[in-house]
Amino acid sequence: MEIDDNDYDYSNLAPQPQEPKHTTEETFIRQTLLNSPLVTNIIPKFKVQINKPFKGVTSTSFNDEEFQMFLPKDEPDSQLDAFSDSGEEDDLILDKDVAVDTTQLEEDIFQEVQVVIRHSSLLIDGIEFPTKTAIRSSCVIKGTNEEDLLFISLKSNYLLLIRLYYVPRYYKDDDYQYQSLAHVPHQGNSIVKPFVIQWWDTSTDPNQGYMLRSSTSGLSTISCSNLNSFRLYLTSHTKNSTMLKKHINIENQGTLLDACFIEPHCATPTDMFMTLNFTDQRRLVINLFSWLNYEGLTQNFSKSTLPLDNTFEVPVFIIPLKNNSSFLFVSREKFTIVTIHDIISAEYKFNSQAAKWDESFPTGFYIPQTRITSYELDKLDEVLISTDIGVIFSIVISDNKFIAQDPIARISDNISVFSLEREVTTYRLTFASDNGSSKEVILNGLFTKEYLYETHLNKLSYSSFKVVKDFKNWAPLMDIAIIEPYNRPRNSQLPLRQEIWGISGTSKKSKLSQFRHGYSAVKVSHTYEALRKADKLFTFKYNDVPYLLCSLPFQSVLVEIPSDNETFAEISNPAITTQEQTVFASEVIINHTPVILQVCPSQMIITNLTDTYSTKQFPFQVLECGLHQELLIMLVELDKSIQFVIWKLELADVAFESLQPLFVKTIPYQPSAMKIFSRDGAIWVVIGTFEGEIVTYSLQDGDILQTYSGKLNEICPYESIDVISLELIIANDFHILNDSLFIGTKEGYLIRLEMSDFSMTQFLRIGEINVKFCPSKDSNLLFIQCKGLWLLNQYESVYPKIVHFDDTFDKTIVSSVEIASDSTTHKRRVILVRDNGLVLTQVSTFVESSVKQISITENAKKLIYIPHISIFLILCKSRSNKTRIRCVDRKSMRVMTHRETNLKNKEEQIFGKDEFPVCGCVWEVIRGKSKISRKILIGCSITTESGTDHGSVKVLDFKKSKHQTGSTIMAVTELTSFEHDSPITNIQQSDQLILFTSGKNIYYTGYDEHEKRFTPVKLLEVLPSTIVSLAINQDKLFITTRFDSIYQFKTPKSGMPISYVAGDPLPNHFINQIEYKCKIIASDKVHGSISIIDVSDKKYSGERVSYKLSNIPRVYLANLNCNWNHEDVNTVLAIGINGEISSFRSVSSEELSELNTSSTTWEKTIDKLSIPFINKVGGTGLFSLNKPIFDYLENRGKFIDYDLSDIINTSKISL
Q: What is the pLDDT of residues 845-896, one digit of tens each?
A: 999 999 999 999 899 999 999 999 999 999 999 988 889 999 999 988 899 9
CA distance 1203 to 565: 37
Q: Give this prediction's pTM.
A: 0.90
Tell me the pLDDT tens digit for each residue of 567-603: 889 998 888 999 999 999 998 888 778 889 999 999 9
- pLDDT band of 838, cuts 50, 70, 90: very high
Q: Per-residue pLDDT for 103 more than 50?
A: no
Q: Which of 1198, 1076, 1061, 1204 has its CA nearest to residue 1130?
A: 1076
pLDDT of amino acid 1011: 80
pLDDT surpassing 70 at residue 721: no
Q: Where residue 797 falls among pLDDT bands split at 50, 70, 90?
A: confident
Average pLDDT, the chain: 85
Task: Please state the φ and ψ torsions of residue 11, each to the nearest 5 degrees.
Answer: -65, -25
Considering only CA atoms, which of 631, 663, 665, 622 is closest in space to residue 650?
631
Q: Look at residues 814, 817, 818 and name the one whose alpha carbon lies nearest to residue 836.
A: 814
Please check whether residue 399 is in contact with residue 375, taking contact to mean a CB–CB distance below 8 angstroms.
no
Alpha-carbon Rg for the chain in angstroms: 34
**Average pLDDT of the segment spanning 826-843:** 92
Share of the chain above pLDDT 90, in %: 50
Q: Sorting pLDDT into bands at 50, 70 and 90, what band is 78? A: very low
User: Residue 87: pLDDT above 50?
Assistant: no
**Residue 1058 pLDDT more than 90?**
no
Q: Identify the CA nearest to 193 among candidates 321, 52, 74.
A: 52
**What are the CA-CA distances from residue 452 to residues 365, 457, 461, 1102, 1187 (Å)?**
21, 8, 10, 68, 52
The pLDDT, as a whole number, for residue 1108 is: 93
Residue 325's pLDDT is what? Answer: 92
pLDDT band at 1099 (very low <50, low <70, confident <90, very high): low
Helix (H) or strand (E) segment spanning residue 519: strand 517-523
* Secondary structure (3-state) at 917: strand
Predicted confidence (pLDDT) at residue 1080 exceeds the cutoff of 60: yes
pLDDT reading at 59 higher than 50: yes
Q: What 3-state class would DSSP assign to 1049?
A: strand
Q: For residues 58 and 55, give the distance between their C-alpha atoms in angstroms, rounded to a whole number.
A: 9
Element holding 764 (H helix, E strand): strand 760-765
pLDDT digits (tens, 9 = 90+) for 242-270: 889 888 899 988 999 999 999 888 777 88
Cα 195 to Cα 1186: distance, rounded to the nearest angstrom: 10
Confidence class of residue 957 from pLDDT cuts 50, 70 and 90? very high
298: pLDDT confidence band, cut at 50, 70 and 90? low
The predicted model gives 745-762 an average pLDDT of 89
In whole angstroms, what is the distance from residue 992 CA to residue 984 CA? Answer: 19
Distances (CA, A) of 1206 to 171, 613, 1169, 1170, 1186: 11, 56, 8, 12, 9
Averaged over 542-566, what is the pLDDT?
A: 88
- Higher-pLDDT residue of 798 and 1134 is 1134
Over the stretch 684-718, which tens digit does the pLDDT of each residue have?
899 999 999 999 998 877 778 888 888 888 887 77
% of the chain at pLDDT higher than 70: 90
